[in-house]
Amino acid sequence: MIKFIYNIKYNIMKFKKLLLIAISFLTIFTGNINTLKADEGMWLPLLISRLNYVDMQKMGLKLTAEEIYSANHNSLKDAIIQLGNGCTGEIISPNGLILTNHHCGFGKIQEHSSIDHDYLTDGFWARNYSEELPNPGFFVKFLVRIEDVSTQALKDIDKNLSESARATKITDNITEIREKAVEGNHYEAIVKSFFGGNEYYLFVMETFKDIRLVGAPPSSIGKFGGDTDNWMWPRHTGDFSMFRIYTAPDGSPAEYSKDNIPMASKYYLPISLNGVQKNDFAMILGYPGSTNRYLSSFGVEYNLKNMYPTRIEIRRKKLDIMAADMAADKNVRIQYSSKYARISNYWKNFIGMSNGLKRLEVADKKRDTEKRMSAWINEFPSRIEEYGQLFKDIEDAYNLLSKYSLEIYYYNEAISTGAEALKTASLFANIEKELMKEKPDKEALAKEISRLNIYSTAIFKDFNLPTDKKLFSAMMLMFHANVSLEQQPEFLIAAAKKYKNNFDKMAEIFYAKSIFASQNALSNFLKNPDIKTLQKDYLYQAAIAFGKNHNKSIELTKVANEKLDKANRLYIDILRKMDSQKTFYPDANFSMRLTYGKVLDYVPTDGVKYNYFTTLKGVMEKEDSSNNEFIVPQRLKDIYNSQDYGLYGEDNTMKVCFLTDNDITGGNSGSPVINGKGELIGLAFDGNWEAMSGDIAYEPELQRTISVDIRYVLLLIDKFANAKNLINEMTLIGKAVN
């Protein structure tokens, strides 16, 4: 029986309202963000009572700060998880049921898929616990507590220390902090740098490793719109999937076992059936990955000239090769779907980022800020002494990095994440090192062999030899054609000469004689590894040659990166001191953050205005049976035609997605969108094209978070999949049974 609760909060600890008004204006983070608004910023939950609570109340928050984050009592933060693949999820039942995005679960759905059981195409729904599918190697983390450890981390740090000496001392200090935090418990302690190394915070985490796939709609729903709609609005994607956490019978974290039981949730999110309206309060808790809001103008120009065009070009080539083979073979389509999606997502992101930074003249705006910074520095001799070299150091560092940028980005995109056989070969250096010893350590060798057996089994499950050879050939050609000869490994130069730049022929010969081209060959090698076979392998020779060559570039740019580390710290330090009355938030770094704002429409350009929501009608209008990105399942059409929306519709309309002005980035995928009462109203899954520069420059009038309406998720679980077993374990709030 579905539980319905009216006008009350469910599962939220009842704490007395904190007397915060008197201290709300005490700030810890201060700096130079002249356009800062309440809806901008990725805030540490630990600090919202001091920095944000009054603003949040004015916007519609009904909870106390302690109901959002508490280290001593159950709170919203106990329902938020960091997924092992870098996404966010939330607990939505007493039994450890996880809700996240379809694209976050895509890799696991794909791993369980085959031609006989194509869950990517058909979807998957477990009707009971016994049907839920294990995912070896997958894990989730809960935040236990956050602590400001800046004083301990920066103990005995002198401003005259070199960057390397400073880093060593801080590392030693952090080791002490971490060891103390995990003494006598099973937690993990992570200390993260904030504001370029000006502050440090401890995050104590608890990890669970038995995570099972529970449900996912077909890709025609969970990935509706594909690459065409990615990063775009209006959006009509049912981007969700479901997992469950299992524990040992005593509730403790445990590896997979048939004896494990569903987790007894400390806290789970109740789900609102009331929907959203324009200007409603909305907050998001999650794990945003990385932003660089305080990047200098030099950094912006460097990215536009070096990083983005290089990565866009290489990724486009990889996508073209994969797409052609996926279209020709259904098995290859399944094998490469997840890889293609990962590459494509940020290929388009880089394009949007580049366009946005140029269109919004971000470098020019940063130069204006830097002129103010220079004037501030020059006001006093003491500032000149401490900061006078800042901008010259930044410029010199980027000039040096520019000389090696092509090799660095080509290695990362074309070699390290290019052909999988080459990547696999690069992982065998430790085997060679051990075998070269006069008396190899049998235990260490066995451990490495076990690790590589597990890795290779996973790789070859989704490996297509013709596709990988094409990728190898194309990446070798691009590297040789675009990276300066003095920065190429001699191995590649010699091979290009030997094969007269016929890289297809080179690939055929390399793969024909390589143990890394087939699972059987590699498995047989690992049963009895010998150094001669490994060292004679062409792919291994190539991997080692590229790796050594890349290490030279890293070493030659070490001084530039050390200058930038120091410059970034000083740059942010100036911003905070220059406008100390301003509230200042730290860049994202895969730590839990809260962002708050409103449900809003937006005007992307003159004469165009986008509504804040989309409906199922738009799905039908986009249908194109000749395009895999816009196929609509017949069952969904039937629901639309009958308007059988049950509790989830709104005046005979089924809303699908909506917009807020929350400040998110990669890593927030799957994050819960929560209303002022602490109820789940949607899942964040994307940003909008017009604000793709948001990782570097937040534009409040343009930046929007795209979320799937939780009621559409429920409709799909209930009416489309008939998975009422899942609906029955949730707590739904607001709308009465018809």
Cα–Cα dist 466/604, whole Å: 44
Cα–Cα dist 290/296, whole Å: 16
**Residues 6 or more apart whose Cβ sits within 8 Å of residue 153:** 170, 173, 174, 177, 191, 200
Annotated catalytic residues are 103, 239, 669
Strands 88-91 and 140-148, how do they pair? unpaired
Q: Which two tokens stand for residue 145?
A: 């507590």
Cα–Cα dist 120/111, whole Å: 10
Environment class of 542 (CB within 10 Å of its CB; exposed 0-12, middle 13-18, buried 19+): buried
Nearest in space to 274 (alpha carbons), one of 547, 695, 696, 681: 681
Cα–Cα dist 247/250, whole Å: 8
Cα–Cα dist 271/593, whole Å: 21
Cα–Cα dist 246/265, whole Å: 10
Q: Which two tokens stand for residue 495?
A: 């091979």
Using left for φ > 0, alpha for ψ between -120 and 50, and beta otherwise, residue 5 falls in beta
Distances in Å between the Cα of 72 and the Cα atoms of 78, 203, 700 are: 11, 15, 35
What distance lies between CA 678 and its chain's CA centroid? 24
| Residues linked to residue 707 through DSSP beta bridges, in sequence order | 658, 684
Q: How many helices (H) and strands (E) does the chain have?
A: 29, 23
| Coil, strand or helix at 226 | helix
What distance lies between CA 623 and its chain's CA centroid? 29
Cα–Cα dist 672/76, whole Å: 10
Cα–Cα dist 429/667, whole Å: 31
**Helices 390-410 and 465-482 sit at what angle, rounded to 10 degrees?**
140
Residue pair 663/676 in contact by the 8 Å Cβ criterion: no
Cα–Cα dist 457/452, whole Å: 8
Residue pair 692/231 in contact by the 8 Å Cβ criterion: yes
Nearest in space to 118 (alpha carbons), one of 110, 128, 129: 110
Task: Output DSSP code: residue 43.
Answer: B
Cα–Cα dist 416/587, whole Å: 27
| Residues linked to residue 97 through DSSP beta bridges, in sequence order | 244
Sign of CA dihedral 697, 684, 119, 234: negative
Distances in Å between the Cα of 667 and the Cα atoms of 86, 207, 349, 694 are: 6, 17, 14, 14
Task: Output DSSP code: residue 588.
Answer: P
Cα–Cα dist 621/167, whole Å: 56
Nearest in space to 349 (alpha carbons), one of 667, 689, 101: 689
| Coil, strand or helix at 393 | helix
Residue pair 459/419 in contact by the 8 Å Cβ criterion: no
Q: Which two tokens stand for residue 57?
A: 């109340």
Cα–Cα dist 56/596, whole Å: 7
